[in-house]
Amino acid sequence: MNVKKKVGKALKYLVLTIGALIMLYPILWLFGASFKSNTEIFESIWFWPKSFDLTSYIEGWKTSSEYTFATYFLNSFLIVIPKVVLTLVSCTFAAYGFARFNFPAKKILFPIMIGTLFLPGIVTRIPLYIFWKNLGLLDTYIPLIANSAFACDTFFVYMLVQFFRSVPKELDEAAEMDGCNSFMTLVKVLVPILKPSLITAALFQFIWTFTDFQGPLIYISSVEKYPVSLALRMSMDTTAADFNWNRTIAVSIIGLIPSIVVYFSAQKHFMGGSTAGGVKG
């Protein structure tokens, strides 16, 4: 029986390993192709290059414009960091209100808020564009950031509401007996408990914002203000006869690094935060 279990376990891990390699191979090929020449890229599907040449990374980093990718990375972080911070603050307050307080029309407002999850983002693009245009704020980062200050990211509000509901209300009562008001209870008692869920929200927002292409494309027109997503598209002039695919692939790999680093840095909290909301509905 032990032998059968060991064989079954070995087969299970073998199948999982093969499946993982199949899923990871496109990324491995992308990494290998960044060191290849254009000719070699189209000659073989094998990911391992004949030689490791860093020229594609050096030339790709310089870009074809007057700015290097350092400028575009800085621009991306000027959008991502404020948006993540504002999302955490505004969505935490909104979720706290829905989860812990009774107020007029709460039973109506909460379903309406949830209903906005089913509203395609493209529906609001034109009204928002006209709104920011009338305010004279086009070609700035404000249209990309400001919505997060008002808990407009409904998914995160709903997710945090579920986390708040999983925390016993007895903790609020104990904090109140110790002299804490509602704000102090939130900051000193609930937020530390909800750390995994907040990290989960921050991780999702970071990745979604860093890889967002449509938003910057609509609102940003100056090249010096481009984030990485637009800079990558700008580097892809496929109509050119001598288009260097290896350079585009190289900068694409560089563009993935922040999201990968953030994910693996927060992986432990992310795994806990993504499941904690199911403890209590």
Task: Give the model confidence (pLDDT) of 96-133 as tens digits.
Answer: 999 988 888 888 999 998 888 888 878 888 899 999 99
pLDDT > 90 fraction of the chain, expressed in percent and rounded: 31
Name which of 14-23, 194-203, 205-214, 237-246 the model is least confident about: 237-246
Global confidence as pTM = 0.83
- What are the sequence ranges of the domains in the chain? 2-52, 61-276
Task: Give the model confidence (pLDDT) of 73-86 as tens digits.
Answer: 999 999 999 999 99
* Total residue length of the chain: 281
pLDDT at 81: 95
At residue 269 the predicted structure's pLDDT band, cuts being 50, 70 and 90, is low
What CATH number labels 61-276?
Answer: 1.10.3720.10
Asked whether residue 241 carries a pLDDT value surpassing 80, the answer given is: no
Task: Give the model confidence (pLDDT) of 244-264 as tens digits.
Answer: 788 888 888 888 888 888 888
Asked whether residue 240 carries a pLDDT value surpassing 80, the answer given is: no
- Closest by alpha carbon to 223, among 82, 74, 83, 71? 71
Pair 56, 40: CB distance under 8 Å = no
At residue 226 the predicted structure's pLDDT band, cuts being 50, 70 and 90, is very high
Whole-number Cα distances in Å, 225 to 12, 61, 76, 78: 50, 16, 9, 10
At residue 139 the predicted structure's pLDDT band, cuts being 50, 70 and 90, is very high
